[in-house]
Amino acid sequence: MTGGRRTWRWRGRRLDDDRAHTLWSQPSSGATGARAPAEPAAVPAQRCRAVGSPVEPSTTAPVLEVNDARRGPLQVHRGEHVSLLGASGAGKSMWIRSLLGLHEPFDEVRLWGMVASKELVACVIGWVPEGDGVLLSSSVLDNVTVRTGERAITRAQGLDALDLVGLAGRSREPVVHLNRAERRRVALARCLARRAPFLVIDTELDPILWPLFPMLCSYLPWIEAVLVSQSAVTSFSRQASTVAVVHGGSVIAQAPLAELDGTPDPAVRQVIGSLQREGTE
């Protein structure tokens, strides 16, 4: 990884905007042998967005849509980075667990325009939960390749994912030897190895990985959208395609942050104002 540049080191090579979407379908050789993804990826170039470039408003149906009479609607379009913004204790984690079917389910969840079952939602969402999100009794690599559904993750795929988060060199270590920030990287690597189309991050990533996270998501062609839970206004929420304000376990507003700043809704103004102050402290 290289900070401050629009590149990402992977398999000992640099990714750039023109070639990033093709590298994932090319085999590479090294100490662990060829490491090619299980499925060849035919990816249109527009899916690999330049980091920091605005996402044009989509004219298509949302790829993820939540409908609930009490907890508010949420619509996420292809290519969007969404900030789930709310104060500590506002119910962001509960909202995410409802999305995953682990808490009181929403009235309806749609994926790619179709009503989705709880099993399908769990299959297509990669979740980095609060806390460590790892099996402390297993190795780093075993945590990434652990079977969480019908699809098995190979050792090569696990190593590729760990390479992306900077932990390939520690794959054999017991995960208990890692600090909390590194364990969260392992949980993220597990999502990347599964090629989950949707990433839901319900925790703080470490200061080294966090600035590079939007770049990483932009380079991986199978990622449809990213949702990140936040308790303060940060650079991610300022650059996010849309901000979903969470209060009392419900989404009470959804718009780009600049639009929310000028909203006439006093409840939304109060939440945004308090979290902007926290983000500058």
What pLDDT is recorded for position 143?
Answer: 95
What pLDDT shows up at residue 278? 63
Per residue in 64-109, pLDDT (tens digit) is 999 999 998 999 999 999 999 999 999 999 999 999 999 899 999 9
Average pLDDT of the segment spanning 101-122: 91
Contact status, residue 274 vs residue 86, Cβ threshold 8 Å = no
Q: Is the pLDDT of residue 118 over 60?
A: yes
pLDDT of residue 26: 34
pLDDT on residue 230: 93
- pLDDT for 149 equals 65
Cβ–Cβ < 8 Å for 244, 83: yes
Model pLDDT for residues 28-64, shown as the tens digit of each residue: 333 333 333 333 233 233 332 333 333 344 447 899 9
Per-residue pLDDT tens over the stretch 205-218: 888 788 788 888 87
Q: Name residue 130's amino acid.
A: E
Residues 230-278 pLDDT 10s: 999 988 888 899 999 999 999 999 999 999 988 888 888 888 888 886 6
State the chain's mean pLDDT as an integer.
79
Q: Which pLDDT score, from 0 to 100, does residue 8 have?
A: 42
Q: Yes or no: say if 62 and 75 are a contact pair by the CB < 8 Å rule.
A: yes
Per this entry, what is the length of the chain?
281
Question: Which pLDDT score, from 0 to 100, does residue 161 have?
Answer: 94
Cβ atoms 78, 58 nearer than 8 A: yes
Of 17-26, 93-102, 120-129, 238-247, least confident by mean pLDDT is 17-26
DSSP string, the chain: --TTSS-EEETTEEE-TTTHHHHTTS---STT-----SS-----GGGSPPTTPPPPPP-SPPSEEEE-TTT--EEE-TT-EEEEE--TTSSHHHHHHHHTTSSS--SEEEETTEE--HHHHHHHEEEE-SS--S-TTSBHHHHHH---SSSPPPHHHHHHHHHHTT-GGGTTSBGGGS-HHHHHHHHHHHHHHTT-SEEEE-SPPPTTTGGGHHHHHHH-TT--EEEEEESS--HHHHHSSEEEEEETTEEEEEE-HHHHHT-S-HHHHHHHHHHHHHHH-
Reported confidence tier of residue 27, pLDDT bands at 50, 70, 90: very low
- Tens of pLDDT, residue by residue over 144-161, are 999 876 678 999 999 999
Confidence at 280, pLDDT banded by 50, 70, 90: low
Q: Is the pLDDT of residue 1 over 50?
A: no
Averaged over 12-20, what is the pLDDT? 41
Q: Which pLDDT does position 204 carry in this prediction?
A: 82
- How far apart CA 10 and CA 23 sit, in angstroms, is 9
* 10, 21 Cβ separation under 8 angstroms: no
In whole angstroms, what is the distance from residue 149 CA to residue 153 CA?
10
